[in-house]
Structure 1
């Protein structure tokens, strides 16, 4: 309708690794690491010794005109949360999973990183979604509608 390609209205950005893992010397191959899939692009859960356990989540951002930007992010979680998530991941109880953690990828253009976030399973066929945060800026990202111009910062 506006003359721009659909790819400029809908975009998915997926982080391969959590930033602390990406910046570590051995990354996800450190001795004692565990990933729910050997390929970190497919894995939904990971535990990296001396760094943290992580769960993959979706961070939806509403854009004007009814469009969306979706980030596939990693969330740093407590080891107990990792065990709880792994225990229900492919079971019916997964649909009730709620987790609290910290954003483990820097999300631009807001510069969000290491801020608290609450996750919930919104669709049992997807990884959990970021649904709320006590951090005011992160909560704004989750609840407000943003102009398409923010997509220019992602190129």
Structure 2
């Protein structure tokens, strides 16, 4: 650890599956499911019948001292938006992609789940970022600089 505690560093927390998929009987292997990669750790797009289509996104939380916690989350989206994202994903228009959906992973320590979130591509080499929300609490999470204690409560 180079003499520092893990709570003194930037953190990346990546969710393997959206919570509704994780809580479903067959998870991502349900009949008719589609993932952009067979490995859900690598997949960036997902469609699970009777659950929802999902897009992977990055949710960045700023922490005092210039640090950051970055959550690799899933966002439930409208089927049309999944199709639009799929069509743009490896095309030049990807950099202009904007999508609105609902957070599909519980984000602790705030307990955020199923709240609206707006996604935009900030870096064409990354998945879209969560950039804003009509939900007051998520908006605060995205814009406030949080104390280091927030890192101690992460898995």
Smaller-chain TM-score bracket: over 0.9
Determine the structure 2 residue equivalent to 1:102. Answer: 102
Instruction: Give yes or no for contact 1:17–1:74 (8 Å, CA) kept in 2.
Output: yes
Determine the structure 2 residue equivalent to 1:111. Answer: 111
Gaps of 5+ in 1: none
Aligned residues: 153
Q: Distance in 1 between matches of 2:123 and 2:6?
A: 24
1:5 Cα shift?
3.6
Instruction: Verify: 1:136 aligned to 2:136, yes or no.
Output: yes
1:87 Cα shift?
0.3
Instruction: Verify: 1:127 aligned to 2:127, yes or no.
Output: yes
Instruction: Give yes or no for contact 2:7–2:151 (8 Å, CA) kept in 1.
Output: no
The superposition leaves residues 115-152 of structure 1 with CA deviations (integer Å, 9 ceiling, x where unpaired) of 00000000000000000001000000000000110111
SS at structure 1 position matched to 2:43:
coil
Gaps of 5+ in 2: none
Q: Distance in 1 between matches of 2:68 and 2:152?
A: 14
After the TM superposition, list the runs of 4 or more consecutive aligned residues in structure 1 that deviate by more than 4 angstroms: none
Determine the structure 2 residue equivalent to 1:32. Answer: 32
Instruction: Give yes or no for contact 1:12–1:71 (8 Å, CA) kept in 2.
Output: yes
